[in-house]
Amino acid sequence: MLKAARALSWWALIPPLCVIVLVAAWGHKVGGVGLVVVGIALVAAVVVAVHHAEIVAHHVGEPFGTLILAVAVTAIEVGLIIMLMTSGPEGPSTLARDTVFAAFMIVCNGVVGLCLLVGGLRHREVEFHVEGVTATLATLSTVAVLALVLPSFTTSSPGPTYSGPQLAFAGTASLVLYASFVFVQTIRHRHYFLPLETDDEEHEAGPGPKAAAVSLFMLLLCLVAVVGLAKVESPAIEHFVAVAGAPRAVVGVVIALLVLLPETAAAVRAASRNKIQTSFNLALGSAVASIGLTIPAIAIASIWLQNTLVLGLDPKDMVLLAITVVVTTLTVAPGRATLMQGMVHLTIFGAFLFLSFVP
């Protein structure tokens, strides 16, 4: 408890500092050193936001903990996307699609692959609940196809887009599936998502209600800071991508990597402790939240934005999505995995990153 209190007192200093940086930079043309300071504050706010979400999660226990982390990360992602969309030119926007697809590939291949590699190297073979992981994967595959694949084949609107009624249906269906998943994960079949008992199980005293309440307030401060700082930093991000000669889709990859970096660290720590179920809850649960909540939120935001949402993937990305779903299904079906499966996922992730820069 004393250790948690000391950590909380240190981490509680960062959110107010990030808000101060936001207030100082808001409404001004920031350049040079100012952009560096804003960038550092943005990264710090993301890291600290997930840290405080972890404290709240530790207080409420599993699987509610990983659910809180996933929702917090998704809130940050939605804020970043909306801020960047409002700062960009009017017309068709692929930012939401690129970011959501990047998050899907990062968690399903990068995070899962790294967790399996670390767990396999340290424990030879890792085990998890097949029922919980396959339920998550089924939900994830369905919302991914609804949001990212079907728009390329519909004919009611030109291009890889949904018409208004189609977008409303896809958003509603995603919300219903995510709500059903949360109900199953937290109430109806909660035991499917609890970590298996292992020799490495740690029994630490969780933070008290006061520490959890303070962390919840700090989490909200961080979310405000992240959204605002992203608005200030967004021109620099797009300028950097343009100067590097990289495709515009790389902006979505940068956003997803930034948001998911702290959660990746948490998942890898769990894998090193032989808690691969917690790692899967974090990774795959975050992907479900990313698509199931981001697409409806962006769809609602598009009512006020003068942007046409381009959601359908191109053929190259559809192939990457398809092979990810197939390989992930084969990985989780036995209920155990080794470092070999981790290497396969990391190879797919490497192909995704390479083809993002060299399409």
Per cent of the chain over pLDDT 70 is 86
In this predicted structure, what is the pLDDT of residue 66?
65
In this predicted structure, what is the pLDDT of residue 296?
83
Over residues 95-108, mean pLDDT: 87
Question: pLDDT-based confidence at 108, cuts 50/70/90?
Answer: very high
Tens-place pLDDT, residues 190-213: 888 887 765 444 445 556 777 778
Tens-place pLDDT, residues 15-66: 888 888 888 887 777 777 777 888 888 888 877 877 777 777 777 666 666 6
Tens-place pLDDT, residues 262-287: 677 778 888 888 889 888 888 888 78
Tens-place pLDDT, residues 217-238: 887 788 778 777 877 777 777 7
Over residues 176-190, mean pLDDT: 87
**pTM for the model:** 0.81
Structure-model confidence comparison of residues 288 and 260, the more confident one: 288
In this predicted structure, what is the pLDDT of residue 346?
96
Over residues 248-256, mean pLDDT: 79
Over residues 117-126, mean pLDDT: 91
Question: pLDDT-based confidence at 142, cuts 50/70/90?
Answer: very high
- To the nearest whole number, what is the mean pLDDT of the chain? 81
- Nearest alpha carbon to residue 241 among 228, 257, 227: 257
User: Residue 4: is its pLDDT beyond 60?
Assistant: no
DSSP assignment string, 197-222: P-TT---PPPP-HHHHHHHHHHHHHH
Total of domains in the chain: 1
In this predicted structure, what is the pLDDT of residue 63?
62
* Domain boundaries, position 140: 2-357
Tens-place pLDDT, residues 304-314: 766 677 889 99
- Specify the CATH number for the domain of residue 316: 1.20.1420.30
In this predicted structure, what is the pLDDT of residue 92?
62
User: Residue 2: is its pLDDT beyond 50?
Assistant: no
In this predicted structure, what is the pLDDT of residue 200?
46
